[in-house]
Amino acid sequence: MSNFSLLDNELIPNHEILGEDEMRSVLKQYNIGKEQLPKLKVSDPIAKEIGAIVGDVVKITRNSYTAGESLYYRYVIE
């Protein structure tokens, strides 16, 4: 059985863990705390693949025919 990456699937948008500086910048831009972001469970297969841990903020970059590229953020919970 071969290993595969979820991120190689064209239907799965790019996910990346934000660094502290970028996370602070995003939270300041939206004037929110990270607990106010939508949630992503640490047990989610994509969270496991990128190595996210509880407390991380994940940036999701989605491509759209109408909007071009859109960014979404998720707070990793247990």
> What would the pLDDT profile of 20-58 be if each residue is shown by its tens digit?
999 999 999 999 999 999 999 999 999 999 999 999 999
Question: What predicted TM-score, i.e. pTM, was given to this entire model?
Answer: 0.86
Measured distance CA(70)–CA(68) in Å, rounded: 7
Distance of CA 69 to the CA centre of its chain: 14
Which residue bears the tokens 């991120």?
Answer: 7
pLDDT confidence band for 12 (50 / 70 / 90): confident
> Is residue 67 domain-resident?
yes
3 in helix, strand or coil?
A: coil
Measured distance CA(58)–CA(56) in Å, rounded: 6
> Is residue 4 domain-resident?
no
Measured distance CA(37)–CA(77) in Å, rounded: 11
Whether the per-residue pLDDT at 19 is higher than 70: the answer is yes
> Is residue 1 domain-resident?
no
CATH number for the domain that contains residue 51: 3.90.940.20
pLDDT score, position 2: 58
> Is residue 54 domain-resident?
yes
pLDDT score, position 4: 77
Q: Could you give the number of structural domains in the chain?
A: 1
pLDDT score, position 75: 97
